[in-house]
Structure 1
């Protein structure tokens, strides 16, 4: 790949996959690496890795995932299961003319990546999970096990009722994005770490919602890894699309549990890498400590777990150089 092409940044196109039109940003030539973003993000969350992977000799492709950005947003809630999302990635390989790829995912993109590797190891020869480890299927519907109190409920439960979270998040899209990006970052104040708070992070007050009224975006500081222009990119997309597509992923958590019954106790058998920040709120979720302790049993070819000191949830944006270096090192081993 010519240096001038790498420096020019990613190119964009729309492809057909699994019955939807999917927008992708891509950069570089060589072995294919798919980059799956999470909530509330877009392909743009991988902007640093697109350039780094291209420079290292890889073809990096970051789609707007189903329901996001310039990709189609099916109306029906049940069109956002993990089987649909993995199917989108298999179809994307076909659209790109690739037999296999390494797949990486951050936040909600991580379960997509892990399950792509679980269900189709013939197509995904390696997997990189950021922030969210591989979560084996539990014993009961996931929404039955999340924290809830008289005055607050876990954010995943708050997201379940169609229209409720949309109204709150869309009241001021720029504020929602800036608040989310700062509050879950390693630059935000350290949350309560007392035993009483264990497993009770991201609790949403029933009377205020995810984004409280009465605060302005100008009161939220920008961490050093984020610019107002970056926030504007995200806000511009969600102002146009709304949040329903991304929220519908959460509304299929229990449906995913039902659909994945045949794969209970199945292991991810391809080579894997896990990366997270030690200040990532996900690592404070109930039960995640045990998941991490047993990750190599569920993912027997786990090559490495990289924990970045002082890093929050937005792993590949907060620590772009370290994340890119870890990814490239893993990819070169393959």
Structure 2
């Protein structure tokens, strides 16, 4: 009986001491927490606050005047309508294809660039390559798409000038459904590879140089050092970034796709985010587009959890 009375008392003492510890910790680092406060408020207001609007996914109509709770509740009818629609499989297919090739071709690009730059010993050449490869990141997506349209112009466009060298007829590249995906993926790699390599260069800088010296003494060449020291050294960083990338696999680059999209390319360019834009913003079907957006978010969340779980079991590297 005494033991039963002692256990709650001990738990209460532990709880009190933990609260005191957190209070002291907050007071000790109060200025740090004050600096963190704007970030917390930003996420509360602009990320968690709007989640209240997800209720529209389960309603028939939405009136900005009456508010969200005034709508007629219809359960999962909006989701059923989307799953049974003509566009469902086309949207899923296009989104997955663009995301898949963006990961397969785009994700390794900054890693390869970082590994190549890490092997360069001439400082001025390395700095020049880094600067040139970083610059496309600072170009607006609107400008990049404008460049693509200029390059693919029928009269004097760079792509068609190149085709004319081989006596080929000019082609309207952005109006060709089969050309949309290559242009989208390759332009993404060009724009993001240099900037994406920064984090991998930082990871490479954190590898102990004594490991390379020991490998040289043992007779290991550059290739073996790369396989047995460099790549394993950056693998935790690679895994974490890959997990984050997989968690956004259903989120294709909406802005760029919308700017590149033309009516003839809908068959290969129409993705979930562009369909949500047309349904919600252009057509005013807010409840239906909210349901599609919620479905997209749930799939992304599930993929993130799955990728993190698999990674933790395979090599003990994970987000949490």
More helix by share: 2
TM-score after normalising by structure 1? 0.29
Which of the pair has more CA radius of gyration? 2
More strand by share: 1
